[in-house]
Structure 1
């Protein structure tokens, strides 16, 4: 970083401190470590954070942090309005997963959470389409209060509170689900339901649906007879209909996603500062996760990639078990999940804080292509993900030729750049398997833009670029005429990356 720019940093920081935050992220929350203790809320009476028990995390009108109760109501109404008359929707909570006999930190199924905000396991919801002004009737099934179990596993939301907070018309015990489901589905000609994945070759078994809830639902013979009735032509897939809704992010969702990206972006910047030759890749991964957790993230969105030197040529390198050497670059693909929404950011930076001339040259080529592609992420451009990917190949091919690559047929797409440019992101890292890469981008969608170049040590490529792996990935909110980079907090320009690594941006590693 030049000395003249460094001299401006104090004034810039002072000016930024006076400016309001960006419109997309209207306010920053305090975290539990900063909140004034209020022991009247301990222990909570509910199975998840609500404003009444966690006012430091939620506002009065919110059902989950950042998302108001009215938005969940709108999502359900939009779904039911899109379905034909005489329809019923059935959703099952995600199963509890175990590792070595111990429970994993529970995460609710994405579609279930998107429509309800309800975060407890062993639950189900049934939405019956009707002619009311609301457009449907909602029945929520859960465990309810159980003092004996809550002594071991923590509080659960009672049925009265389920009615009050989650706006169900009826709240019943999960043990009543088989019998209630039998009577409900008999009334409808269209039963929208997604059966859980079978572990065997991804086959779906109709009898696995309610086993998903076991052991709370017993005996098996009772609910197996209910499930068998779903095997008729009346059963229709639900996920594609929810995917159409999830593809477009509301203003509230955009704000939460911006915060998730800010947390991850700052953690990338501080991890750059923390990096030094001789440190392990696993230490960098741990530092990143620590920083995200300290800022309020509930978990990482995926296993991070911390690939030093030639390890960066492995696209999904997650071993993270080698030592960083002086003169290497580090490709770090890492993002947190915050209040239900994933972030996904990749940065490539020098381990010792300064790019070598060849590193700088190849990095600049990828950066030039990446920035051009981000600029095309608008509804006005009328491009699809397939269109963007084809353009990424064109841009990268042009940039590589300018720095001395002689490319033959297949060199780029099969060797140097073997992955796709982009994917939708939201509640899930890869938002939906039902998205159409050929569909034109629309305002309100959020996608990643992640071109990369990975140069193997083979004779057809310039030797001074051998074993370089560079990927630059941002999260981009598609706009009508202008895109918004949600991951702007992660340094990307060469001067900013070197400044972050060398401590010239005022960042400390923790």
Structure 2
């Protein structure tokens, strides 16, 4: 057997082991009389109420309580003496009127606490104790009338015990406690919710408490507190938390691998589900359904399902055309699982077999992508900016071999107009406080996503016109070797065609 076919055979066996032949449900239970609390008395899944989702040591699925403690300790150890940290929960968001969206906690607040209820906040005070800080959590507490409609909330006593706070108080006490705490500290680290403008996110210093405040009488008190936050002692919290979030713990890596495995398997099954004539929307629905069936709480972003020339639109999310014969389909989609995002892009032939031009251009992008993945190590001492410059060099080399005569800014302005990479974790793009000129460190997770999008213009070879290809993996940076977290999604040509045709043993469901 040649080395090529031996490699292909090994890859196919690995894919079969990854996908298996049996449906797997993330929430399957073998003991349906386990005595767990139902209905729950807590405001979120905990081991006591949801042992099918959490292990005894977990505070949130896959993340031990000790990890959250370590995060807070590292944060406070890095701040000056006499520092105060204020972090608030995300507001409930509404689609219209009183019709709310599924709640998602603010990322930094969740990272520091694991607490998933709205109308909550924490205050961390740096101390000289062995722990290094004092934590006060504010939340709604029990309200039987409200819980009749909305479900359980965690009691103040349980909030303090389970989430390891020194004190737990009603959210109505937040403003008065904050006022006194601020007066006693010289540095106040706090972030306010973003209000988006045409120039991007902009924080309003008077918005931090507005969504936590009651609708009427205490406005003057809240305004006083908010005004005082704009003093010279106010410091941004997000950059401090971002330093910690950039390096994923072993537990985080495990959850991110699980999220990528779900999305990767679903990419493979969606390849099998695809056929000429099917609506792009049906492929998007199939992808989202299988992610939910596998335990994902939501999609990490609006899926891109771009067939044929639609793939030339980088963020095509209309997903409202029909897939035609001999077109390729570019799917950029990933789920959010247990608090962590996944982000994978695959491009494949709708008919199950690449045409010669499709195969040639795909092989060019794949060759560059694999070279770039191999460089995602701490020992390579490369930044995201450096990797992007290399991606331009590699793609230019590959395209030249295919007969492209590139001049000026043809590559960056027309064929490859986006950046190569972004960090990923709790947020899909953890880029706001990430320095692209910083060398990658072991434990970071980044995407590697080169692409080529050929418009129908005379300066590019005609047989490649209207072909758009992007191949994106999530990569865990190692000291000397990278780990591709999204390995479950086929990307070698033989495996992509095998997934489409069903020869890998995969089914669409």
Q: Which TM-score band applies after superposition, normalised by the shorter structure?
A: over 0.9
Match of 2:258 in 1: 259
Matching of residue 130 in structure 1 with residue 127 in structure 2: yes
- Counterpart Cα distance in 2 of 1:30 and 1:135: 42
Matching of residue 68 in structure 1 with residue 67 in structure 2: no
From the superposition, tell whether residues 131 and 405 of structure 1 become closer, same or farther in structure 2 (CA, over 3 Å): same
Match of 2:302 in 1: 303
SS in 2 for 1:206: coil
User: Mapping of 1:195-274 within 5 angstroms?
Assistant: 195-200=192-197, 202-215=201-214, 219-274=218-273
Instruction: After TM superposition, give the deviation of residue 199 of structure 1 in Å.
Output: 4.4
Matching of residue 51 in structure 1 with residue 51 in structure 2: no
Contact 1:210 1:217 (8 Å CA) reproduced: no
- Counterpart Cα distance in 1 of 2:56 and 2:76: 27
Contact 1:281 1:308 (8 Å CA) reproduced: yes
Contact 2:348 2:354 (8 Å CA) reproduced: yes
SS in 2 for 1:390: helix
SS in 1 for 2:211: helix
SS in 2 for 1:423: coil
From the superposition, tell whether residues 448 and 331 of structure 1 become closer, same or farther in structure 2 (CA, over 3 Å): same
From the superposition, tell whether residues 9 and 435 of structure 1 become closer, same or farther in structure 2 (CA, over 3 Å): closer
User: Mapping of 1:257-296 within 5 angstroms?
Assistant: 257-296=256-295
Contact 2:135 2:167 (8 Å CA) reproduced: yes
Contact 1:196 1:212 (8 Å CA) reproduced: no
- Stretches of structure 2 lacking an aligned partner (at least 5 in a row): none
Contact 1:175 1:216 (8 Å CA) reproduced: no
Match of 2:155 in 1: 158
Matching of residue 395 in structure 1 with residue 390 in structure 2: no
Matching of residue 185 in structure 1 with residue 192 in structure 2: no
Contact 1:35 1:56 (8 Å CA) reproduced: no
Instruction: After TM superposition, give the deviation of residue 163 of structure 1 in Å.
Output: 1.2
Matching of residue 168 in structure 1 with residue 165 in structure 2: yes
SS in 2 for 1:91: strand
**How many residues are paired up?**
499
Contact 2:36 2:48 (8 Å CA) reproduced: no
- Counterpart Cα distance in 1 of 2:122 and 2:360: 55
Match of 2:95 in 1: 99
Matching of residue 321 in structure 1 with residue 320 in structure 2: yes
Contact 2:341 2:425 (8 Å CA) reproduced: yes
Instruction: After TM superposition, give the deviation of residue 100 of structure 1 in Å.
Output: 2.2
Match of 2:341 in 1: 342
SS in 2 for 1:185: helix
- Counterpart Cα distance in 1 of 2:378 and 2:194: 35
SS in 2 for 1:475: strand
Contact 1:6 1:504 (8 Å CA) reproduced: no
Matching of residue 435 in structure 1 with residue 434 in structure 2: yes
SS in 2 for 1:208: coil
Contact 2:8 2:494 (8 Å CA) reproduced: no
- Counterpart Cα distance in 2 of 1:344 and 1:14: 19
Contact 1:30 1:56 (8 Å CA) reproduced: no
- Counterpart Cα distance in 2 of 1:424 and 1:253: 14
Contact 2:36 2:51 (8 Å CA) reproduced: no
- Counterpart Cα distance in 1 of 2:407 and 2:13: 47
Contact 2:36 2:50 (8 Å CA) reproduced: no
Question: What is the root-mean-square deviation in Å for CA atoms of aligned residues?
Answer: 2.2
- Stretches of structure 1 lacking an aligned partner (at least 5 in a row): 20-28
From the superposition, tell whether residues 11 and 351 of structure 1 become closer, same or farther in structure 2 (CA, over 3 Å): closer
From the superposition, tell whether residues 15 and 386 of structure 1 become closer, same or farther in structure 2 (CA, over 3 Å): closer
SS in 2 for 1:207: coil
- Counterpart Cα distance in 2 of 1:5 and 1:209: 60
Which range is displaced more, 220-229 or 320-329? 220-229
Match of 1:89 in 2: 85
Instruction: After TM superposition, give the deviation of residue 223 of structure 1 in Å.
Output: 1.3
Match of 1:32 in 2: 27
Instruction: After TM superposition, give the deviation of residue 219 of structure 1 in Å.
Output: 2.5
Contact 1:30 1:57 (8 Å CA) reproduced: no
SS in 2 for 1:430: coil
Question: Residues 440-476 of structure 1, C-alpha deviation per residue, up to 9 Å, x if partnerless?
Answer: 0111100000000000000000000000000000000
Match of 2:377 in 1: 378
From the superposition, tell whether residues 5 and 302 of structure 1 become closer, same or farther in structure 2 (CA, over 3 Å): same
- Counterpart Cα distance in 2 of 1:98 and 1:227: 24
- Counterpart Cα distance in 2 of 1:499 and 1:337: 27
SS in 2 for 1:77: helix
- Counterpart Cα distance in 1 of 2:456 and 2:466: 6
Match of 1:22 in 2: none
Contact 2:26 2:295 (8 Å CA) reproduced: yes
SS in 2 for 1:75: helix
From the superposition, tell whether residues 144 and 81 of structure 1 become closer, same or farther in structure 2 (CA, over 3 Å): same
Instruction: After TM superposition, give the deviation of residue 34 of structure 1 in Å.
Output: 3.7
